[in-house]
Chain A
Amino acid sequence: MTLMWIALLPLVGMLVPMVTASHGRRTCSLATAVLPALALLLMLAQLPALSSGEALRASVAWIPSLGLELAFRLDGLSVLFNLLILGIGLLILLYAHFYLAAEEPFGRFYAYLILFMASMVGIVMADNLILLWLYWELTSLSSFLLIGFWSHRSDARKGARMALTVTGAGGLALLAGLLLLGDMVGSYAMDDVLTGGEAILADPRYPVMLVLVLLGAFTKSAQFPFQFWLPHAMAAPTPVSAYLHSATMVKAGIFLMARLHPAIAGSELWSVVVSLIGMATMLYGAWFALLKTDLKGILAFSTVSHLGLITVLLGIGSPMAVLAALFHILNHASFKAALFMSAGIIDHEAGTRELGRLGGLRKAMPVTALLTTVAGAAMAGVPLLNGFISKEMFFTETLETPVLAGLSWVLPVLAALGGILSVAYSLRLVHAVFFKPAKADPPHTPHEPPWLMRAPVELLVTLCVVVGLAPVLAEGLLGLAVEAVLGAPLDFHLAIWHGLNLPLAMSALALVAGITAYWRHADLRHFHRGFSAVDARLVFEATLQCLGRWSEHSLKRFEGGSLQRYMSWLLFASLLMGSLGLARISGLTGPLGNQPIDGAVLLGAALLVFGGIATAVTHRFRLISLIMLSVVGLVVALTFARFSAPDLALTQLSVEVVTMILLMLALFFLPQKTPTESSNRRNLRDVVLASSLGLVVASLNYAVLTRDNSPISGFFLENSIPGGGGHNVVNVILVDFRGFDTLGEITVLALAGLAIFKLLNRLRLFMPHSDSEGRLWSPDRYPAVLTSISMALLPLALLVSAFIFLRGHNEPGGGFIAGLVTAVALILLYMARGVEWSQERLDFPYQPVAVAGVGIATLTGLGSWLFGYPFLTSAFGHFHLPLIGEFELATAMLFDLGVYLAVVGATLMILANLGKVTTVHRPAKEPKSEDNASPQRPRKETT
């Protein structure tokens, strides 16, 4: 469980700065440091348990079906990286406390920083490939936030975007690679992967997987040719650069290669690709570090170079090379973080990072000068400092490796060249800033920073010296880490002096030639100027824009903003799928065959076919089309009645009435005729498409109807009375068996009503003053016959709906139908008497009715919880009342009441509100406005 805390405490710690930011920077910084420090201490407390060489594990199932577990492990490698991430992270926090200007939002900055820290901790502790990848993506996102922290600066935004694009794209490749890897092993658990090396190497998909995983690692660790994002990420505040580019972000790729070393290394492909790419990166970075004039630019390229060095070592892959790689990770993190922070101090105190404007600073900042010089010397590989030892190990390994067979002399030569350049740029960095006389004055008068701001640098430089003098001290930690990578303990001894040998000679050569190179620096720059410069950012932006244009262009082919086109694509696709399905069944007519046709059915079918086709044909004359539609609707209701579905017939009939009123009302506000627009070709295409789909549907329907289907309805028929207490199975299904669906459905209904209510709000409408033929509306306001009939009909209709409602459980009927009947009766009143008249008498909004309906239904469902039953369990019983006799009550009835209210509320909300719109726009009784007034109710169009 402690492991979970180590991994998750920093994540929780992200919230701390946001909460404490208002209490001043000092409190906020202190509070923010607490949780990461706690995580660090917890981890150190685990160290004794690790000495056996076995990793500690903790896991919680997350999505087992995907092989995803919230699993963490702590082994030597995780410890090494966690020390860097948490330890240097805390130092960075201290440094940032002084670095950020007073007005900057430090709370937000800390939150990003800790989020980043937490995601790095997650990467190094993940015990599951997918979890590792999730954290990997989280580092990409949080580093984006950090690099772009000064979002008012264009270079920060662009740098952040570039880093996100490159590392995010690499992350996708990595995901693919990890999925392949997990597939090869059959598990995403880290242990299975690490022990599955042989199976992985033998798998034919190995090269593809390796390339994908390496793409992820190389983009993250800024390896050639993806190195270009790192220098641009220097637009970040210096604490961020110091953190991301010394200890964390760019080391994630290195970590991945080390972590997966037992699983995916060990092939020739790995050695050649990784070591050559590493070498190229090392030389490229070193060369440009020598030429840059911006302090952070030099450091950025030197970081690229050192990452290349570590990659070469991992590519060589022998046990000692892995040890050297891990050791150099540690050393590089310490001196590079120190150098970045020094650069930040110089920038902070002198106001510039340009070498041209700096110089002679050793007088003004003697302590910083000393610290930077020592750290720079460590970077150059000067003896008695930590960088020297790991660099010597690097030289040794390049001499001994058999990677390039006959060409194996190439590696040491290139390594020595890298060493020379490294000495030269380190020397230049230190000399130009502190010792060379200044050419121009810096913007501020330089002075020493506050002691606490320098403290992290002092600590790190002390580490460089101590490890350099007594490398034995690092042996324990490295031993653990190298055992975690190799899977077996390695017997080794770190020493400063190995006697007079070739690596020592290479170091000496590097020192001498490096000093010479710096001395002849002007010549080098002259040589470099002979090449035309390529600005990585411009190339990147141009590529992105080109890609953007291309994708926009290709997207427009599909998504041009035309509904008709979308529909035709959609229908075409379903036609294809439907035909494919049909093509695979055996014979259209199934074993059941046809039932005999009778006259009524024939007539009904003829009416339906006629009505359907007529609706389509007359669609330009919308009123006629609508009347044809209503023919279809009515015959559909009859069809339901004919084929033993009385409930459906009743519902269809009442819905038909409401739909027609609705469409009539809507038609009043829409054009009465459709203009001729589609070309003949388009019409032909649509007819062909629609008819083919109609054919497919008809064939499907016929195929199903003539085959024996084994329905699951037996259960409902058997349990309707014992389980639901009702004889009408359809109703029992609605309010009981599938009550949850019905609840969802009436919620949708109520929502649709509310949405319509909202849509009608402040709607400006076109008010026609005559029909499409130019005839004015009839001046009769409300026909007397309709008025009197509707008055007489209302109580009758309400009575009928009560009757239908009550008997619904046992006979055709129920809440839906009763609700619709009530709604129709009330609407008839509105139509006969006008909105104003009805409004006075029915003076309440319908929204609460619909909401109350949904509420009652939900509460009925919740009620069963009170009795310890699942949601929506129904109960029923028979009761005896004197006079009335035996009768039955079921909770389903209450639920049905909710349905009833929801249907009435929603339907009236839709229709009454729409009706009201006409009244709002009618300029009442002023005779002048006759031109645009609509003195008649819209439904008169039908008469």
Chain B
Amino acid sequence: MGLLSKKNKEALNTPLFKENPVTVQVLGICSALAVTSKLEPAIVMGLSVTIIVAMANVIISLIRNTIPMRIRIIVQLVVVATLVTLVSEILKAFAYDVSVQLSVYIGLIITNCILMGRLEAFAMQNKPWPSFLDGIGNGVGYAMILVIVALFREFFGTGALLNIQIIPESFYEAGYMNNGLMLMTPAAFILIACIVWYQRAKDKSLQEK
């Protein structure tokens, strides 16, 4: 089983929890917070980032020996920008509503630190296949946090999930109210803080002194 040897499995698994890009490596926070007021854009964003990280990792890993060290940042940026442009055009063509909701944040995937971070730290030193797995792992780890945050924000903020009403009408008649604050920016920060809190309470090795 050469495809999923122990080392490759690690490349795929560690970014999910132990090295999660958002809560542990503190990468890609900007977009993680901005697109999470609804579940649908969060899923689309997570998916886009996963695809882009994986593809960029593979491309950079393939040409890693030919890139001069001094201009590697520019080369990386160009590869990423090209992929982001492609994804953005595809979204505009097939999922216009979501692309409007995501607005500038799709373009901001270019400056998403997860990409540059993984390209620098992993793809520049590894073969294409492990790089691909590392990209998928980090993308999924990122998407996971996005989905968790969006789940809470949409559920408590609007009483719906994926635009389908979950909390029944009778609750509202009995005096239940949506928490509008959940849709605002502060809730996103505080929810991420709670996730970090939970994760670090479980895994003491992540705690800062």
Do A and B assemble together? no
A contact set with B: CB distance below 8 Å: none
